Structure 1
């Protein structure tokens, strides 16, 4: 089994005099959720269209599931589910009828998959309700259901949370995580809500003005955007002893000004503050700190600019 579902090598796309993609070499591992980060017009949608066969490269190569030949790529794309641009949903039809039309258009045998797909995205109870009466969140779920027809191994989703309210965003995130963890679907997803990608993705690619600036794993990103608790007390030396003795951690740093950066116990800050207070320390400052994905991204593209 090939380790990667998608690899590109020196992929370039020009539209007349505009360079939409510039020498992009990207790697998406099987089983990952790859968060594709970039501003509008950075090249995210262009790469997705090239990978899915909706457009053709000016130069460079695309490899899907280890295959790179023209005929092999056509076969490999049958293993993909795609939601790049809003699919043709028929507003006068129900969710089930919409999926049936897409099933017939794509030559997917049997109707068993429709019921399973509707259950998967939480639309099994919509009955005879027409798509025109769906909320935006339901329409996004129906678009995802269209992409999931045929049991794809690789999902390509361009801004699937666009326009959703906070509850809808959380529901979509949980659904995608379940598809990845329970079914094993690899996902390439772009979103302008970077905080959501930080909660969802296992790997990241940062693209700017058509150039892929960086690829990194979640662990690498977290090291670069490491979260910590900033602690200032009346005796840093005693506080350090408490952290080691009571909380059994050495994952902290005492800065020259006496401020402590604690890199563990982030999920239980009250336990930390309680241990310090019980030791008789006066806590002057106690707050979670760290660089968010948004600020890392801004700094990264700012450096390139």
Structure 2
């Protein structure tokens, strides 16, 4: 039985005459890393603000840990940690002082959690260095530490790698993987940086102009983006036999129109064409096909480019 940390039901938010969210039905399973993808202004931050209580829906509902309203929803929100629009840091305080201040604000008992959380994000040795002198990557890790106070089960991160240098991006990625795999924390990451999400997410939701276009797993996405050789010959049955016997693979499909999708030998197209031609097959079409992630998401939102 699947457990969900978040489910929305026709969730909508209207600002003046603009629908920021339009009947969104989204679901996030416990233990996953959910990549929430869309351009700036697509509705990602609006949904996060509704879930975290920073704004109220115009219509529709949502379940957070199966709680929907009242005191039960307030209690459920105590089980989440968030970074929204950048981490809230005290620039003239050290990392330890920042966490201690937030611990007191959140009413979390015991000081042990401060050192434990700093060690978890790799900031245990920053000493008296002020947060204002941290690199962007260190600031993001400190923001994550604040979000992790109280041992949340669900992390909600709005554009957590914006502005980071390549090393900072790698640090945050590895930390998030560790939090998910070693500690079982479910993570929602809102971002428009597709290449980075592809290295991290287990599931995806694609949003555009306030509408959720698609939800799919990483496995499903990779299948949709799989590269292959598109082959059309005068005798597809003979070609299939030759591919299986002479190219030693059955990793192909004969399509209803007689064309063949060959998923093996993508990097050796010359060998394939030479083998087919040697057997006196007439090659009518022969080309590599398949989408990369950028192309797939661009096509799903109607060809609009990403930033």
TM-score by shorter chain over 0.5? yes
Moved more, 130-139 or 163-172: 163-172
* Correspondence for 1:226: 226
- Asked if the contact 1:36/1:189 (under 8 Å) is kept, the reply is yes
Mapped pair 1:72 → 2:72: yes
* Correspondence for 2:284: none
* Root mean square deviation, CA, Å: 3.6
Give the C-alpha shift of residue 249 in structure 1: 3.5
Give the C-alpha shift of residue 303 in structure 1: 6.8
Change (3 A) 1:2 1:261: closer
* Correspondence for 2:156: 156
SS of residue matched to 1:110: coil
* Correspondence for 1:234: none
* Correspondence for 2:119: 119
Q: TM-score by structure 1 length?
A: 0.84
CA distance in 2, matches of 1:262, 1:224: 14
What are the within-5 Å matches in structure 2 for residues 42-191 of structure 1? 42-191=42-191
* Correspondence for 2:301: 301
* Correspondence for 1:196: 196
Give the C-alpha shift of residue 219 in structure 1: 1.6
Change (3 A) 1:242 1:135: farther
CA distance in 2, matches of 1:142, 1:183: 18
SS of residue matched to 2:162: coil
Q: Deviations over 1:222-269 (max 9, x none)?
A: 1211134789xxxxx9x98897579864113689xxx98653588xx6
Unaligned segments of structure 2, at least 5 residues = 232-236, 279-286
Unaligned segments of structure 1, at least 5 residues = 232-236
Q: TM-score by structure 2 length?
A: 0.83
Change (3 A) 1:240 1:130: farther
